[in-house]
Structure 1
Amino acid sequence: MIDWKRVAELHDELGADHFASVVELFLDEIEGIVMRLRQDDPSQLESDLYFLKGSASNLGFGSFANLCHQNEIEVRNGRVGEVDLGALMDCYAASKKEFVASPHRISGAA
């Protein structure tokens, strides 16, 4: 679910203080977009999924990034009805829970 190698790389690249700021910003932005997704606005869906995919990938939320990518393709191909926002929200929640529950893995200790 979490690409801990990517997380450790980002932590090392940014340093602990900047890493914490990036994580906080990421989670805040994601929460805002997740709330917007719940409003079921198809006009924003593709761009929101694109943003989520990139942010998630950068922070190591691999499963969530992959699911965003798959859903982004569905929207781009005119299959908005194929997008399972519930599964997307569940994947994000599970990813966030795993990430927050394992702070010892962030610095590459795992």
Structure 2
Amino acid sequence: MIDWDRINELRNEIGAEDFAEVVEMFLEEADEVAVTIAAGIEPDAVEAALHFLKGSALNLGFQELAQLCQTGEKAAAKGDAATIDLGKVISVYEESKTSFTQGKETYAA
């Protein structure tokens, strides 16, 4: 679910203090997008929302979320937004966030 090597790479690239700020910013912005999706996002906004989540997920090593968002983003681009299980996207985001929060001190160097 989490690519801890990516987490460590990012932390080493930008330093621990900046890493904490990046994580905080990502989680705040991703939480906002997740709330928007959960509240019933318009079909024409799905692609952009999933694109945002995918990019943020890739930066923070949320592999499963990134893959799910990529699949959904492609479907939305084809006009198939109604076929995307947005509930699963939110669920995987929440699971990823929990896994990251619980494991960041253990796995990240």
Query: TM-score scaled to structure 1, two decimals?
Result: 0.93
Deviates more, 1:37-46 or 1:67-76: 37-46
Identity across matched positions, percent: 40
Structure 1 outlier segments of 4+, above 2 Å:
none
Q: With a CA cutoff of 8 Å and minimum separation of 6, indicate the structure with the bigger relative contact order.
A: 1
Cα deviation, residue 42, structure 1: 1.5
RMSD value over aligned CA atoms? 0.8
Cα deviation, residue 11, structure 1: 0.6
Query: Could you tell me which residue of structure 2 aligns to residue 95 of structure 1?
Result: 96
Unaligned runs of 5+ residues in structure 1 are: none
Q: Which amino acid aligns with 2:45?
A: Q
| Alpha carbons 2:2, 2:63 under 8 Å: kept | yes
Aligned length, in residue pairs: 107
Query: TM-score scaled to structure 2, two decimals?
Result: 0.94
Q: Deviations over 1:39-64 (max 9, x none)?
A: 22112111111111011001100100
Query: Could you tell me which residue of structure 2 aligns to residue 34 of structure 1?
Result: 34
Unaligned runs of 5+ residues in structure 2 are: none
For residues 57 and 88 of structure 2, what CA distance do their matches in structure 1 show? 15
